[in-house]
Structure 1
Amino acid sequence: MLDLELLKTLVCVVDEGSFTRAANRVHRTQSTVSQQVRKLEQSVGKTLLLRDRAGGNVSATEDGELMLVYARRLLAIAGEAEHVLLAPRAARVLRLGVPEDFDVSRLTVLLAGFAARHPDARLETISGMSAGLRDGLASGELDLALVKREPGDGPCLAAWPERLIWVGDRQRARDAAVVPLVLFPQGCIYRKRMIYALESAGRPWHIAYHSHSLAGVQAAVAAGLGVSLLPAFARLDSHGLLDAEDGFAAVPSTELAIVGDQRALSPVEQDLVAALKQAIGDATGDLAA
């Protein structure tokens, strides 16, 4: 194997045309520079430099000229490799879609662990309705997404059942001739479940409050503005639990799924999926209990 330090010395001596000037340039003694050149010559079994004893000048032999071509190339490649490895690397951006009504605080601890394991990755969390998140995956705007959906609605990387419960003020809900609903936007699967259940039971209803965020819906229910349908984990202590005796029959569970292309996942994305599985899996007692 050729020693890069010896090649660097050879190039320096030829460029300077003198062992003395080369020694000054690399801050070494002339004897050290001469020894390095001789060591390189012994290594390749060729005389690489001619020394003018009278004038002290040095020139390359024919073999030396050939060696110089490769020496400069090898040194350039080594310098390039060092520059690339030492330069700050561009962050790998991972785009994760999360439903508007999802409690992101459940993920923060494990996502922080993911970030610590992958300092070169930058995680962007984008919230939206599940239908929009699916569109984002299809267009390549998202790498992974958590979506609320009907159970078994297409392939996924992991899925968990999500038990839904009616919440609101029990007395007001029983006395109301027209049920006041606190709803998420159009396209939300909880909204569809609520309206279908009340229509099937023949109960009139009206929209009392509308919010894109889980926190907004929770606050509206707590304030007594109306009734809503939420995943079990999202019920607050201030929410009354409504059941069939109050005129609100149980509704089928929905599903929380991690969606993405398993075949195209990079190792970093696979680790993110594992973190999501752990974060959501730890909460399945609340989701499905």
Structure 2
Amino acid sequence: MDIENKKCYNNERGEARISFEQLTLADDFMFFKVMQDENLCRQLLEVILNKPIEKIVYVKNQESAQTTYDAKCIRMDVYVKDKNHTIYNIEMQKRNTKELPQRTRYYHSTVDQTQLKRGQDYSKLPDSYVIFICTFDLFGVGFGKYTFEPVCIEDKNIHLCDGSHTIFVNAKGVADDQKLQEFIDYLRTGKVSESLFIKQLDDAVKVASHNAKWREEYEMLIMQEQYLLNQGREEGREEERENHFKSIMKLINSGVLSLEDYLEKADDNEEFKKWYLSQK
């Protein structure tokens, strides 16, 4: 199924909310559930990185990481490491939030701060990969995969070799590797190739779409999101009302408007009265 033509319902902001049965691997919730399969997760890493990975272990599923009590908390879709202690963070991204490069930087720093114990040498810091699988072309060049590693601007032959790797997979791009292209095609169109891995992915999505427990979890997440949206909207209305009343008070204090006239004629006079009395 084409990820751009799925039936959906909208929240009050008009944003698409896919019903549980319509979820594909390109949806964050489904991707997280399917990637709980260690074999599929490992194979996906092998396809993206084009190298064998013997074994992975989950650091935590959809890990929430926070370095200090007042720091921004991040929620990672897939957070695993291999036998060499290399860290892999994989994220599914359907919306261009215009800050993905900065987000990868923050994810790298957050992961790094959890890897060394006090007194350990920096040389013990393991390699890390932050991988965003995007349903859009973030850079507009058409590559199926964009790989970034620190390099010297003055001499491109000099690499920093700090162990950090950032990758963006583009579901609308063209890859120079057949296995990656088959994955990209499946992500974008739902096309199941002859690849055993793609068939296993598709089977896993179909099984997940009939999981009653996951359906309930998904619906609860949507309800929670709607609650937070409504709460934010109410807080926004309250702030707007507060600013409006402050503007009225400025007019009253400057003599442009009399308090009596406003209370007599304004539609919101009762609300203003309550606000006015609360300021005394």
Q: TM-score range by the shorter chain?
A: under 0.3
Counting strand residues as a fraction of each chain, which structure ranks higher? 1
The structure with more radius of gyration: 1
Counting helix residues as a fraction of each chain, which structure ranks higher? 1
TM-score by length of 1: 0.20
